[in-house]
């Protein structure tokens, strides 16, 4: 069987330029960079000069290996290449805007049109400059996307009709997010990818989201953290049942 080609991430030109300009500061190559860049200003103004700047920054982006962690993280998740065709990376204005998701999920479910899906990633420029933190963030984000593509997990974007109230729906979404993150962190730990201290922080978050577990919170957390398999429906049922008033 022929292996599917790895996804090559596509980077927004603005993100590329910002990342390069930040990374090159106080770098031994800074002088060479600006000497070459300044020569581009001698070109006539217009689209050709703009394209020359984009190509220049793109070449330095590759030279400084700023996109390499994202390419490597994509390769770590084989389901991504089988279920999507592209990964587009854009700048995020804040930490809340950061994340990776499947683009136009409702328009084309992966089980119906796997080859047409795209990963849309938003990341702060400064995160690209910190490879260890970027790698940890990418692995968690892309495992979410891999789960969404996994038929065994059977992800569905719809929520129960009983949660039509906006406040109740937000609470349910948060509880579901915590449960999903716990299961993801368990798999990250078994691969040796979970940063030190993250398990304790996730347990604290779990206990806060599900106070009615009381002293059993650590045991319930461990059951989910150590689970080898899980489904979207199972997590949703747990969020509904365990988060109830009794």
- Name the phi and psi angles at 123, rounded to 5: -145, 140
Whether the pTM exceeds 0.85: the reply is yes
* Beta pairing, strands 118-123 & 86-91: parallel
Q: What is the pLDDT of residue 143?
A: 97
Q: How far apart are CA 185 and CA 190, in angstroms?
A: 9
Q: What is the pLDDT of residue 163?
A: 61
Q: How far apart are CA 3 and CA 81, in angstroms?
A: 10
Q: Residue 138 CB: number of other CB atoms within 10 A?
A: 21
Q: Residue 163 CB: number of other CB atoms within 10 A?
A: 17
Q: What is the pLDDT of residue 39?
A: 97
Q: What is the pLDDT of residue 226?
A: 98
pLDDT along the chain (246 residues), means of 10: 70 98 96 97 95 98 98 94 90 95 58 63 97 96 96 87 75 94 98 96 96 94 97 94 61
């Amino acid at each position: 069987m022929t292996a599917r080609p790895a996804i090559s991430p596509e980077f927004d030109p603005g993100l590329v330029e910002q990342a390069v300009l930040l990374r090159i500061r106080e770098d031994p190559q800074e002088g060479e960079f600006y000497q070459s860049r300044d020569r581009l200003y001698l070109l006539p103004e217009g689209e050709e000069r703009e394209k020359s700047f984009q190509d220049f920054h793109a070449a330095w982006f590759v030279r400084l290996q700023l996109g390499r962690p994202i390419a490597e993280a994509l390769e770590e998740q084989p389901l991504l290449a089988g279920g999507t065709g592209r990964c587009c990376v854009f700048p995020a204005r804040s930490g809340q805007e950061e994340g990776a998701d499947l683009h136009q999920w409702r328009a084309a479910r992966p089980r119906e049109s796997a080859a047409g899906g795209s990963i849309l990633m938003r990341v702060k420029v400064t995160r690209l400059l910190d490879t260890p933190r970027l790698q940890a963030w990418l692995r968690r984000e892309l495992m979410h996307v891999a789960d969404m593509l996994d038929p065994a997990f059977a992800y569905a974007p719809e929520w129960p009709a009983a949660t039509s109230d906006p406040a109740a729906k937000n609470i349910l979404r948060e509880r579901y997010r915590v449960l999903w993150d716990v299961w993801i962190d368990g798999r990250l730990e078994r691969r040796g990818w979970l940063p030190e201290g993250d398990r304790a922080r996730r347990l604290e978050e779990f206990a806060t989201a599900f106070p009615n577990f009381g002293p059993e919170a650590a045991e319930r957390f461990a059951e989910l953290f150590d689970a080898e398999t899980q489904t979207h429906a199972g997590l949703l049922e747990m969020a509904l049942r365990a988060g109830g008033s009794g």
